[in-house]
Structure 1
Amino acid sequence: MKRWSIYTPEGVQDILFEQCRIKRKLEAGLRRLFTSYGFIEMETPTIEFYDAFGGEIGLIRQESMYKFCDGKGRLLVLRPDLTIPIARVVATRVREESLPLKCCYIGNTFCFDELGGGKQNEFTQAGVEILGIHSPEADAEVISMAVKAVKACGLEDFQIDIGQVDFFKGIMEKSGLSPDEVEEVRELIDRKDFVAVEQVMNRHEVSDDLKALILDLPRLFGNKDILAGISRDPIGEKASAALDYLQKVLDILEDRGMGRYVSIDLGMVQSLNYYTGIVFRGYTYGVGFPILSGGRYDGLVSKFGKDCPATGFSMGINMIMMALERQGRIENGDCQGILITYEEGARKYADAYCEKVVAEGGIAELDIGMGGLEACLKYARAKGLEKVLLFRADGNFETFERSTDL
């Protein structure tokens, strides 16, 4: 029989030493980036009521969530998402805050879906949200922050694909399909089953122009010139307005020097859940999943009792680390820190020097093994320390450098 006490459950992992250093460095860089642009950090509980995500609200499939009960038998979940709790907070705890509200977060989420964390069921997300404003400038700001976040993590070869949920909804309304059939078409397009899509279209009197456009959705990707090639006559007012809005967002991104990082993908018809307008995903090579996703979700906060437009994105830190490793962009940890050992009668000198180094922002540790100089040198080599200091009883010390003595 296996000793389960020595294993971790499927989908979670220990993050050790160097990997943990890299992860914390990424998180610190993103936190610094977000706050530098006026986003205020927020932290929500790891444990939430199931009703905030499932139940009548029905935002996330119950099969995707880790569920358990509290002491009173109420159904709880480990949060599968960080945007939804922020919507809850804005609708309930900070209703009177002046808008727009710009907030950011870094935290772990727990979900059985593979999209956010690859093969991991626990993964770290970092992201920003802008609540209380509906404008192309706000959506462009969020996409711009996504680009800056990827670059801040050390990736240069990436792309942000931008879609428009309202464009798809608009042409579906024009087609006359029922809500169930619209969802069927969305799933078929997502699976690239175009024969089945055409069969659904043929059950209705859909115009040839509109049918051709729907079947052509997966091929409507590339630069902004695609928008000019779409005839507005057959698509209706809602879809036309969605394209105009998308064009404004692209123009803003172009002015901000972000144009080379973004492209259009009007075939982006992933589950619509709470998205209501602009949607986007970020990709880089070496990773089979998006490294970030986001969009506009104007109806989400209202599910918790407050009408409030919103837009945002979240990035998978675990996916970023995977991309950095596979692209050979992981930086080796610099040799840093010193080990201070001492002869009999020199402890106070060694301790005082250690405290001085730490107070000045350096890394220092006192020898606690007291196994002699050779043991200290061996320890320093194994840990990658810069040098070893040996204090004498008269208060002087001898230095052993990594480059020569270690």
Structure 2
Amino acid sequence: MNRYQISTPEGTRDLLFAPARRLRAVEQRVRQSLEDRGYSEVITPAIEYYDVFAQANPAVGQENMLKIVDRAGRICVARPDNTTPIARIAATRLEGAELPVRLYYSQKVFRSIAEGHGHKSEFLQVGAELIGSDGLEADLDILTAAFSALEQAEAGSFRIELGHAEIYKALIEALGVDEQTAEDIRRLIENKSFAALGDALAPYQGSAAYQALCAMPQLFGGVEVLDQVEHMTGNMRVLAAVAYLRRVYTALEQAGFGESVIIDLGLVHEMDYYTGIMFRGYLGGAGAAILAGGRYNALCAKFGRDLPAAGFGIDVERIAETGSEADNRQVRDTIRIALTKGRLEKKTLARMKAAGYDISELESPSRKLIFRLPDTNIEVVLAKAADVITYVEHGVCDLGVVGKDTIMEKGGSFYEMVDLGFGKCRFALATKKGKTVYGNYRTPVIATKYPEVTRAFFSRKNMDVETIKIEGSVELAPLLELADAIVDIVETGSTLKENGLEVIEDVAPISARVIVNLASAKMNKTAIQRIISDLERGGEEQ
């Protein structure tokens, strides 16, 4: 039998019985919460024209859209986002409606996903949009709706973090960099890549915006982070946004949500989309954000009517899977750190030992893969490099130590928080002596174990290359005339020299990095930062 007749596409699944009942129960509670607050349901088509999203919401990249061609040859997409179609409705169908309009939806979104990461390409989202109202009262309306929805969903222990789009925009404009540099800096802040951000900003140390931009990834926690940024910059736009966040925080605290609010000034997602306050929600036991929202005053205007708007969407499937604290009896009371087996494992354990941790069980011969460190709430998990990323990304481990090479090749959603400084080597482009891959009209053939790193490197050069993946000794490929060059990890270069090859260009430096799960960074900040500090201190004491 054809397997496509009996299986489901990548990222989709069947839900039967108890999981289906759990999902519908969570969905109904969130819907009821929004209806109780005066939000009315709308339903948009599952299929829309590609232009609706491509022109109105560039935050949804075309590589993430599932495309369909209709009978007339027009490109359509399966709905990748719920807010954009509702902005279209508000601008084109609700001209006579009294403002503000409160709308909510409960419908699927569809995404094209990378294979092998375990992400969903189809999931149910319930969300709310407040159209036609701006200012503090409107932002509090949508925020309290989000808090109430998560409470009604019985989401257990959750946190909602607040940020403001104007902070990054004001600082990056003051820095005076080109568009590509600004985007590179934004991504480093978003991923909390402290070391790489410092390197990227080093040429701008004389700028007034330098200190605040360097600190942005670390500015998350309580209201004290607002005090910190106020001492770092005199930028009036930044200070105005910080003062506004303080007013929002105070109002939420007075409304009884104070224990569930955190501030993250490094919240810099989708800067072309959000225009004001931004927020994300995290749930204990879920590996990624379960809620995302903010103010997007420019969106409706792209459909012909200039209306202020704010909203949020909740991944009710993730909440249903995680379960409430009352139902979930397997909630971990430990912090798990995943270590890459081999040299990085030994180097990391040596640092932990130098910092005072008892690692005697890990030093003894054993086939165990999970170890509880004595007198701590820390578990150490031993895994292959690519699996460290998988475990951290999905939240079954809170943090991990992995090489930059694996991060660059595999990718994923996590924070890259610290460069530990050991395991140093580099990616390099190498050829036979006297040869080059530049300056001719033929498409070069590049052999590598790291096709994603290779494609990204040549893409930055606007060069087309043909990539061949090699699993073994990649140096053989140019010797056997299979490839013109290789991209590989180089430490001393002796293997290349012995085989008549030479480095013609460095691609990227490599070292051991600490990566942290998105939700764990917010839910267990103090414990994780203590472990990271111990790893850094252990290096100093060795």
| Alignment correspondent of 2:292 | 293
Asked whether the equivalents of residues 137 and 252 of structure 1 are also in contact (C-alpha less than 8 Å), the reply is: no
Secondary structure of 1:58's counterpart equals coil
Deviation at 1:195, TM superposition (A): 3.6
| Alignment correspondent of 1:360 | none
| Alignment correspondent of 1:92 | 92
| Alignment correspondent of 2:47 | 47
Secondary structure of 1:229's counterpart equals helix
Deviation at 1:191, TM superposition (A): 3.0
Instruction: Structure 2: give runs of 5+ residues left out of the alignment.
Output: 330-542
Find runs of 4+ consecutive structure 1 residues off by over 6 angstroms: none
| Alignment correspondent of 2:261 | 262
Using the TM superposition, name which of 19-28 and 4-13 deviates more. 19-28
Using the TM superposition, name which of 5-14 and 184-193 deviates more. 184-193
| Alignment correspondent of 2:219 | 220
What is the CA–CA distance in structure 2 between the aligned matches of 1:219 and 1:56, rounded to whole Å? 32
| Alignment correspondent of 2:323 | 324
Secondary structure of 1:53's counterpart equals helix
| Alignment correspondent of 1:187 | 187
Superposed, which structure 2 residues align to 1:66-145 within 5 Å? 66-112=66-112, 119-145=119-145
Asked whether the equivalents of residues 171 and 235 of structure 1 are also in contact (C-alpha less than 8 Å), the reply is: no
Matched residue type, 1:62: Q
Asked whether the equivalents of residues 99 and 131 of structure 1 are also in contact (C-alpha less than 8 Å), the reply is: yes
What is the CA–CA distance in structure 2 between the aligned matches of 1:146 and 1:62, rounded to whole Å? 28
Asked whether the equivalents of residues 161 and 282 of structure 1 are also in contact (C-alpha less than 8 Å), the reply is: yes
Deviation at 1:141, TM superposition (A): 1.7
| Alignment correspondent of 1:65 | 65
What is the CA–CA distance in structure 2 between the aligned matches of 1:118 and 1:291, rounded to whole Å? 16
Matched residue type, 1:253: L
Deviation at 1:126, TM superposition (A): 0.3
| Percent pairwise identity | 36
Matched residue type, 2:249: L
Relative to structure 1, the CA distance from residue 118 to residue 319 in structure 2 (aligned partners, 3 Å threshold; closer, same or farther) is farther
Relative to structure 1, the CA distance from residue 167 to residue 221 in structure 2 (aligned partners, 3 Å threshold; closer, same or farther) is same
Deviation at 1:234, TM superposition (A): 3.0
Superposed, which structure 2 residues align to 1:197-276 within 5 Å? 197-204=197-204, 206-207=206-207, 210-231=209-230, 234-276=233-275
Deviations 1:219-262 (A, max 9, x none): 11111122123336734121111111111211221221111111
What is the CA–CA distance in structure 2 between the aligned matches of 1:82 and 1:97, rounded to whole Å? 21
Asked whether the equivalents of residues 57 and 303 of structure 1 are also in contact (C-alpha less than 8 Å), the reply is: no
Secondary structure of 2:72's counterpart equals coil
Deviation at 1:199, TM superposition (A): 3.4
Larger RCO (CA under 8 A, 6+ residues apart): 1
Matched residue type, 2:105: Y
Using the TM superposition, name which of 314-323 and 53-62 deviates more. 53-62
Deviation at 1:145, TM superposition (A): 1.4
Matched residue type, 1:301: C
Relative to structure 1, the CA distance from residue 168 to residue 119 in structure 2 (aligned partners, 3 Å threshold; closer, same or farther) is same
Matched residue type, 2:217: P
Asked whether the equivalents of residues 291 and 320 of structure 1 are also in contact (C-alpha less than 8 Å), the reply is: yes
Secondary structure of 1:129's counterpart equals strand
What is the CA–CA distance in structure 2 between the aligned matches of 1:56 and 1:296, rounded to whole Å? 15
Matched residue type, 2:218: R
Relative to structure 1, the CA distance from residue 323 to residue 221 in structure 2 (aligned partners, 3 Å threshold; closer, same or farther) is same
Asked whether the equivalents of residues 107 and 125 of structure 1 are also in contact (C-alpha less than 8 Å), the reply is: yes
Matched residue type, 2:39: F
Asked whether the equivalents of residues 299 and 309 of structure 1 are also in contact (C-alpha less than 8 Å), the reply is: yes
Q: TM-score normalized by structure 1?
A: 0.76
Superposed, which structure 2 residues align to 1:138-153 within 5 Å? 138-153=138-153
Secondary structure of 1:319's counterpart equals helix
Instruction: Structure 1: give runs of 5+ residues left out of the alignment.
Output: 332-406
Matched residue type, 1:10: E
Number of equivalences: 327
Relative to structure 1, the CA distance from residue 13 to residue 328 in structure 2 (aligned partners, 3 Å threshold; closer, same or farther) is farther
Deviation at 1:58, TM superposition (A): 3.0
Relative to structure 1, the CA distance from residue 146 to residue 113 in structure 2 (aligned partners, 3 Å threshold; closer, same or farther) is farther
Asked whether the equivalents of residues 58 and 273 of structure 2 are also in contact (C-alpha less than 8 Å), the reply is: no
- Larger Cα-atom Rg: 1
Matched residue type, 2:185: V
Secondary structure of 1:38's counterpart equals coil
| Alignment correspondent of 1:310 | 309
Superposed, which structure 2 residues align to 1:336-347 within 5 Å? none
Deviation at 1:7, TM superposition (A): 0.7
Deviation at 1:269, TM superposition (A): 1.6
What is the CA–CA distance in structure 2 between the aligned matches of 1:83 and 1:221, rounded to whole Å? 27
Matched residue type, 1:270: H
